[in-house]
A and B are shown apart, each in its own frame.
Chain A
Amino acid sequence: MTEREIEITLNGRRRKFRAKPNELLINVLRDRFSLTGAKYGCGLGECGACTVLVEGKPVLSCLTLAVSMDGHDVRTIEGLGGEKLDPLQESFLEHGAVQCGFCTPGMIMTARSLLDGNPSPSEEEIREYLRGNLCRCTGYQGIIQAVKHCNEKK
């Protein structure tokens, strides 16, 4: 199987890697770059735990071929804040929006994309936008509140 050389912008830095045509983005992120924030949940696009941002839009990294990312900007939960946490991460802490934590990276990446386009979404808009991210602990109330109040303070 022929490998291809792929160049992406990963969390703001140019990175190169070689990948086989059947390698998935999530495996490259986790195994080659040790970015284990994105989680492998269902592998079918049902749960959203593997969500990362591609060109700022939430994408399921378990259904995305790594080779198809050539030239694209990819952001994972690890690249969200800088020295400090992203305000959305702060808000998740503040509102107790994390239980077991498995869905949290995916939730935050999807919600980040929502807030980037719509800084003060209604509760209904939040629920609609997060409908593809499942929380097996069913801690949705805290998550919705964290997203809703993220841009309120200061």
Chain B
Amino acid sequence: MSPVRYWAPKTKDEALSILKEEGPRARVVAGGTNVIPDLRAKKLTAQSLVDISGIDELRCIEKGEGSVQIGPLTTIADLLDSEIIKAEAGLLGQACRAFADPLVRHRATLGGNLANASPAADSAAPLLALGTDVLIESAPAGKRAVPLEEFFLGPNRTALGPDELITGIRVHSDAHLKKRFIKFGLRKAMAISLVSVAVALRMEADQVAGATVAFGAVAPTPIRAPWVEAYLTGKRISEESLAEAARIAEWEVSPISDIRATSEYRRHLSGVLLRRAIQSAVKEGS
């Protein structure tokens, strides 16, 4: 492994001033579950590691007005243990249950899962479906908020500048929504999803008053599916509307073929999983 220098800031401000000095030479590391294997495989080079795992102020879950604000260093295990997440961001909680294994969950952080920007990141689809702002800070430029849709630029590429740090993740509350996350992998544990889908529905009687749908692993970044959303809005859930929504989803995604599956299979799967997610959300996804 390459790194020559190691920093362990204890506060956010300290981290930001280190990043300002080190700039592109630096790599931020928190749980290390992505960064360490990548460094060892030489997929990643860094002269300087900025280990932010000791910054306690960035590890928190707070309930706001119609939203939840999550510190980037909150681990997946923290999210699973949180009553606030259960009540206000249940869709994210569902995704955390499918996330890797308990060993990884105790180290892997929500900020890291987003900053790594895998198209298959398990936390991305639920956060996209709920509507999320990534709060970013740098010493020279101060704070900005980036909608998650604009945060992901491509596989492992984000809007994060070299001197910038994620300082918060603000997600809309899903307390009043019907929702379901489904991850389809080739085995139960430690699988990278072939396709993941997150559905959040606002129901009025048996009619969909509002729908948000997001997919993982079917495009260069996790994506929203606006055509599916527009179709579902105002519909009753029936065999016909489910079939049509699935058809639109198959058209709307743009997956690749790789060692895990072909593009055709992922396309088909997107429709199947969307249908299952909607059915399950309406039935039991309080």
Chain A residues at the B interface, C-beta cutoff of 8 Å? 1-2, 4, 21-22, 24, 43-46, 48, 51, 57-60, 63-65, 67-68, 70, 110, 128-129, 131-133
Contacts and interface: CB of A to CB of B under 8 A. Distances in A.
B102 A67 contact: no
A43 B101 contact: no
Contacts, number: 80
A131 B106 contact: no
B162 interface: no
A70 B8 contact: yes
Contact of A45 (B51, B77, B104, B188): B104
A83 to B, nearest CB: 29
15 contacts: A43-B40, A58-B102, A58-B103, A60-B33, A63-B33, A63-B107, A65-B36, A65-B49, A67-B51, A68-B53, A110-B102, A131-B190, A132-B100, A132-B102, A133-B101
Contacts of B39: 22
Residue in B100, B101, B188 whose Cβ sees the most chain A Cβ within 10 Å: B101
Interface of B: 1-6, 8, 29, 32-33, 36-37, 39-40, 49, 51, 53-54, 77, 100-104, 106-107, 188-190
Nearest to B103: A132
A65 B107 contact: no
Contacts of A132: 100-104, 189-190
Contacts of B2: 22
B103 A110 contact: yes
B3 A21 contact: yes
A65 B107 CA distance: 12
Given A4-B6, A22-B3, A131-B190, A60 B104 contact: yes
B140 to A, nearest CB: 26
A57 B106 contact: yes
A1 B51 CA distance: 16
B190 A46 contact: yes
Given A67-B51, A68-B51, A2 B103 contact: no
Contacts of A129: 102
A131 B107 contact: no
Given A43-B40, A63-B36, A68-B51, A131 B6 contact: no
Nearest to A4: B6
Contacts of A67: 6, 8, 51
Nearest to B97: A128
A121 B2 CA distance: 42
A51 B8 CA distance: 23
Given A45-B37, A129-B102, 11 more contacts: A2-B6, A21-B6, A24-B36, A48-B101, A58-B102, A63-B32, A63-B33, A131-B190, A132-B102, A132-B104, A132-B189
